[in-house]
Amino acid sequence: MLADTWYLFNKYVKISMRMPLWSLFSLIQPLLWLFIFGALFNNFATLPGFPADTYIDYFVPGVLIMTVLFGSSWAGVSLLREISAGTVDKMLVSPASRTAIVLSRVLHSAVQAVIQAFIVLVAAWLMGANTNFNPVYIFMAMFVILLLGIAFAALSNGLAIKLQREEPLVIMGNLMTLPLMFFSSAMVPEQFMPNWIHAIGSFNPIEYATSAVRAALSTTPDFHAFSIGFGVTLLFAVGTLYWAISAFKSIQD
C-alpha cells in the first residue's frame, strides 16, 4: 500500500508540474484576500482589546487556512474527471492498493496546500507581518495545515464518490469554504463576534485549526492552545480520510 501510494503520489506531482499555472491560479485568491483585507480592516487593531498590534499580524493564520480550503476543497473535481475518463476503472482492475488510490490523491492535494501556504506566509512577511519565523514553530503550523489539507481533500473526494456529479460537488465546495471561514476567528477575534456565531464556531474544525496555527506563529507561542487545536484537527483528518477510503471501497462492491 505504501509503495503504491508513493508511486501514485509522484504521478500526480508530475501532472501538477506540467500545469504550473493551475497551482499559481489557486494562489491568487489568498494573496488578494491578504492584501485587500489587510488594508480594509487595518483600523481594527486600534479597537480596545484587539489581540494583535496590526490587523495583518492577526489575519495571517486565517489566510493560511483559507489557502488550504481554496486548494483542498475542490480535490474531488479531478477525481470525478478521472472517473469519467475511465482512469479509475483501469486502476481498479490493476493490483494497486485501493487505499493507495485515495490516499495518494489526498496527500498530493495536502502537500500542494502546504507549499502554497508557505508562499503566502512569505508574502505576508514581505508585507510587514510580524509573525514567529522560528523554524520549529513554522513546522508546527505547517503540520496543522497539512492535516487540514488532508481532511478537506478527503472530504471532497468522499463527496465526489457519493455524489458522482460535478455540479453538486461544486455547491458543497462553496459550503465548505466561506461559511466555515466566517464561523471562525480567522478574520475576527472571538470577543468581537456575536454570541451565536461564537457558539457555532465551537463545533467548527476551522476554528481549532486557525487557533493552532495562530498559537504556533505568535511571537509568544501558546502551547496549550496549539495542543487543543492540533488534537481536534488530527481527529478531523483521520475521520474524513477513513470515510473517504470507505466510500471508495464501497463502489467496488
The CB-side HSE value for 234 (13 A sphere, CA atoms) comes to: 10
- At CA 149, angle to CA 44 and CA 25, rounded to 5? 75
Q: Is the pLDDT of residue 253 over 60?
A: no
pLDDT-derived band at 237, boundaries 50, 70, 90: very high
What is the average pLDDT score of the chain?
Answer: 86
Residue 223 pLDDT: 92
Max Cα separation, the chain? 63
Q: The domain containing residue 207 runs over which residues?
A: 2-250
Give the model confidence (pLDDT) of 44-65 as tens digits.
888 888 888 889 989 999 999 9
167 backbone dihedrals φ, ψ, rounded to 5°: -60, -55
pLDDT digits (tens, 9 = 90+) for 126-177: 988 888 888 999 999 999 999 999 999 999 888 888 888 877 887 877 777 8
Given a contact cutoff of 8 angstroms between Cβ atoms, the answer to whether 110 and 146 are in contact is: yes
d(CA 157, CA 159): 5
For residue 61, give the 3-state DSSP assignment: helix
Q: Which helix (H) or strand (E) holds 159?
A: helix 135-163
The per-residue pLDDT for 252 is 56
- Reported confidence tier of residue 86, pLDDT bands at 50, 70, 90: confident
What confidence tier does 21 reach under pLDDT thresholds 50, 70, 90? low
Model confidence pLDDT, tens digit, residues 87-124:
777 777 777 788 888 899 899 999 999 999 999 999 99
Predicted pLDDT of residue 210: 94
Residues 74 and 8: their CA atoms lie apart, in Å, by 19
Q: Which helix (H) or strand (E) holds 68?
A: helix 55-72
**Distance between CA atoms of residues 4 and 6, nearest Å:** 5
Residue 110 contacts by C-beta under 8 Å, 6 or more apart in sequence? 72, 146, 147, 149, 150, 153
Please name the helix (run of DSSP H) or strand (run of DSSP E) that holds residue 167, with its range, or none. helix 166-175
Whether the Cβ atoms of residue 64 and residue 153 lie closer than 8 Å to each other: no
* Number of domain units in the chain: 1
For cell 505568535, what's the residue?
218
Q: Is the pLDDT of residue 67 over 80?
A: yes
CA atoms in the 13 A half-sphere facing the CB of 79 = 30
